[in-house]
Amino acid sequence: MPETAEEVGKKPEVREELAKTAGEKKPREKVKARGTDKFWFVTHALLLVGCVALYYLLGSKVIPLPDAQLELGRRLIRGTAFVVIVLALAKAISVYGLGRIEDASTRFTLRRIEHLVAGLVIAIIVISVIFVNWYAALTALGFGSIILGLAVQTPMTSFIGWIYLLIRRPYRVGDRIKMGDATGDVIDVSYLDTTLWEFGGQYISGDHPSGRIIKFPNSKVLNSMVWNYSWPLFPYIWNEISPRRCKRSSKKNSAKK
């Protein structure tokens, strides 16, 4: 059965669009951490306390070590402490920040951005622990970035397309779209490609799922038109049906039918 106006109005994405149109501000709701989230917070706190205690023991020279090994141990402990802090902050943002967002697709996308930023920060911390000389590390990283950029030019363009999808949002997870010859429901938008669950296609005449999965690079959105069949305020499309009438039938009977 088709959805009623009340059922459509209860959807979180519809309420969000209506609030944007009316300029209303929703009251903020308090987010409570689950038991597993509290366990991870306690674990991170214990790891951070352990790193501080071990760093103090090495600094007070309670553990006799050569100077070279002592400096290496300090760097490793500092790096571990910073990694624990980054993971704790990412967990806190995920629980108390992203947990307030009602829209599942927006929450899913923001969590991917959070994981990407946290991974980049951890990579910088690891590089700072391995390389004592920052100038040499930055020089090596610069040359490596140039070589890597030339080698993976197409994936980098797809990554830029992913950023465009986040900002402009021509489609998101759950939307039904058409791009070129590909038509289907968006089930995943990763850093490099988009996955569709195809409907219609060459084997089916109607708008039913064909069972096939379509993948295309995100760079395609930068130079292709996107037909989006989904919009929160009006999640339907018009479909015209032309009635046929026999030449020998009368217009009065046809109008009654």
Number of domains the chain is built from: 2
**What is the spatial distance between Cα 249 and Cα 31, in angstroms, rounded to a whole number?**
67
Is 90 exceeded by the pLDDT of residue 237? Answer: no
**Domain shared by 147 and 180, yes or no:** no
Residue at 182 is within a domain: yes
Handedness of CA 109, 110, 114, 117 (dihedral sign): positive
Is 60 exceeded by the pLDDT of residue 74? Answer: yes
**Domain shared by 143 and 62, yes or no:** yes
Task: For the full predicted model, state whether its pTM sits above 0.75.
Answer: no
DSSP structure string for 103-127: -HHHHHHHHHHHHHHHHHHHHHHHH
**Domain shared by 67 and 135, yes or no:** yes
Is 90 exceeded by the pLDDT of residue 174? Answer: no
Q: What angle do CA 163, 168, 174 make, to 5 degrees?
A: 90
Q: What is the mean pLDDT of residues 249-257?
A: 57
Q: What angle do CA 237, 241, 244 make, to 5 degrees?
A: 175
- Contacts of residue 79, Cβ cutoff 8 Å, sequence gap at least 6: 125, 126, 128, 129
Residue at 147 is within a domain: yes
Rounded to the nearest integer, the mean pLDDT of the chain is 77
Least confident of 20-34, 71-85, 122-136, 207-221: 20-34
**What is the spatial distance between Cα 29 and Cα 26, in angstroms, rounded to a whole number?**
9
Q: What does the pLDDT read at residue 217?
A: 92
Query: Left (φ > 0), alpha (ψ -120 to 50) or beta: where does 201 sit?
Result: left
Q: What does the pLDDT read at residue 116?
A: 84
**Domain shared by 144 and 187, yes or no:** no
Q: What is the mean pLDDT of residues 186-212?
A: 85
**Domain shared by 57 and 89, yes or no:** yes
Q: What angle do CA 244, 248, 254 make, to 5 degrees?
A: 50
Residue at 204 is within a domain: yes
**Domain shared by 48 and 128, yes or no:** yes
Band of residue 194 on the pLDDT scale cut at 50, 70, 90: very high
**Residue span of the structural domain in which 91 resides:** 33-151
**Domain shared by 39 and 73, yes or no:** yes
Backbone angles phi, psi at 62, to 5 degrees: -65, -35
Least confident of 6-15, 89-98, 155-164: 6-15
Q: What is the mean pLDDT of residues 125-148?
A: 69
Is 90 exceeded by the pLDDT of residue 195? Answer: yes
Least confident of 95-99, 163-167, 216-220: 95-99
Final residue of a structural domain among 88, 119, 151:
151
Least confident of 19-33, 53-67, 82-96, 177-191: 19-33
Q: What does the pLDDT read at residue 162?
A: 87
Is 90 exceeded by the pLDDT of residue 214? Answer: yes
Residue at 86 is within a domain: yes
Dihedral (Cα; 73, 78, 82, 88), 10-degree rounding:
70
**Domain shared by 45 and 97, yes or no:** yes
DSSP structure string for 153-166: HHHHHHHHHHHHHH
Q: What does the pLDDT read at residue 215?
A: 93
Band of residue 78 on the pLDDT scale cut at 50, 70, 90: confident
